A and B are shown apart, each in its own frame.
Chain A
């Protein structure tokens, strides 16, 4: 006979309702594949969504309790190429958030549009929270001064793990270093991780910053405001 697989309806465009068993299988499967092939960004995304059920509500509450964060939850800004005025940002003075962000995108040949939309989060507001986290990730790179190579990504993951508590960040921070050579591991352990952790602890919640309204602000002043310490002078 015919049977609806899960008696739930999609809560937002792209939502795929899943049973607890499916979430567990997805979490396990995506963890294995992400470890095997870190360039399977879709699997990293799925891992984040299926394991974030405790951390995401906490993150959402932190946003609700902050005036700027609350506004972000109300207005739901999205960082996409179609909404960014790239020409204007490029024209901003060096050292401003907007200018450095565009420089980061161009240097590393990445685009904000490659972020996967949330699929397996069973709450429409939490789906936005994880979406916002993903879209803000590139800005994290900019604020921390880290490139998108393996070492840079691991450092950002450590920072994000402390900041958000998302299991996917914790796993990425813990297992990412497996693929690094001894020299990089040393730099990571002695300089980069301690700084990332200290900054993560000291900083206010990075999701409570309305970046789209701060393009003109200098990166340094924004770092100070949030509480991120200046990055160590090592080559990453």
Chain B
């Protein structure tokens, strides 16, 4: 998909493009090195295909399932991420694997309220304005409530984007928001474009995390910030056992009962276990060139936010 948007890169791409299609059955081993899909071992090409199908199946019930599985706590995690980002009006954000738009909407809400406060502050400091100047200030607020902030939601899966666009329409988000079909391992954007890059509960599903991190580095402006919100590892042994019990016994059942789909949610809990723990991910982020890399555990490590800067 990304290859289609950047035709110049297609033939040079290591994985996609016309070259692979020509090789066809001769691919065999060339379908990609061995990797994992949950606890199964598969080729890279198979993994991408399977993950695409998982999200195609879950797209419609994605938000309902998130609420059921995390008992609504995922909303708090996402709020914390955006608060940590603390975006000011005028920020350009790319939310990768942004699917149904949770981070994008929170970002827009945040900059809108910051902007409102800014304008209020401005008014308060200028005590002797004429009526004309005050009404011009209100117009400014109405005509530019986001202060030129923008968010681009990028996702590899059409169904997830579709669900996100529908949600945006339903909730009334239109300004400062765009939706792009794209692959985290090969983003359809120019270098040095964004102020902030976020990936929330998405990097776990990327097959080549190193490439996604390199792409993140590439598309960020110098001074830009990388933020990753993802399931991580719980070190506390008692909590870890309870968490495992809940994950493996309850979550697939919830998937079957709510969404009629056991397998996708079995994949979800297995993929969490397969994902690198906090320190390992930190090292990977540093390898991509980010500096001042750090992480913050939420709920004892069930979830972690990794942050880095392109300096």
A contacts, CB < 8 Å to B: 1-5, 16, 19, 21-22, 25-26, 29-30, 33, 40, 42-43, 46, 119
Contacts and interface: CB of A to CB of B under 8 A. Distances in A.
Contact of B273 (A3, A25, A46, A119): A3
A33 B273 CA distance: 30
B138 interface: no
Contacts of A21: 249
Nearest to B260: A42
B244 A3 contact: yes
Contacts of B257: 26, 29-30, 33, 43, 46
Contacts of B263: 16
Contacts of B254: 29
Contacts of A119: 262
Interface of B: 39, 244, 248-250, 252-254, 256-258, 260, 262-263, 266, 269-270, 273-274
Contact of A16 (B248, B258, B262, B274): B262
B266 A5 contact: yes
B39 to A, nearest CB: 6
A232 B72 CA distance: 52
Contacts of B269: 5
Given A5-B269, A29-B257, 11 more contacts: A2-B39, A3-B248, A4-B39, A5-B266, A16-B263, A22-B249, A25-B253, A26-B257, A29-B253, A30-B256, A43-B257
Contact of B253 (A3, A4, A22, A42): A22
A46 B266 contact: no
26 contacts: A1-B273, A2-B39, A2-B273, A2-B274, A3-B248, A5-B248, A5-B252, A5-B269, A16-B262, A16-B263, A19-B249, A22-B252, A25-B249, A25-B250, A25-B253, A26-B253, A26-B256, A29-B253, A29-B254, A29-B257, A33-B257, A33-B258, A40-B260, A42-B260, A43-B257, A46-B257
A22 B253 CA distance: 7
Contacts of B260: 40, 42
Contacts of A3: 244, 248, 273
A2 B274 CA distance: 7
Most central of A5, A19, A46, A119 by chain B CB within 10 Å? A5
A29 B260 CA distance: 12
B15 to A, nearest CB: 26
Nearest to A1: B273
Contacts of A42: 260
Contacts of B39: 2, 4
A13 to B, nearest CB: 13
Contacts of A22: 249, 252-253
A43 B266 CA distance: 18
Given A4-B39, A5-B266, A46 B249 contact: no
Nearest to B253: A25
A46 B256 contact: yes
A25 B244 CA distance: 16
A4 B244 CA distance: 11
Contacts of B248: 3, 5
A29 B266 CA distance: 17
Contacts of B253: 22, 25-26, 29
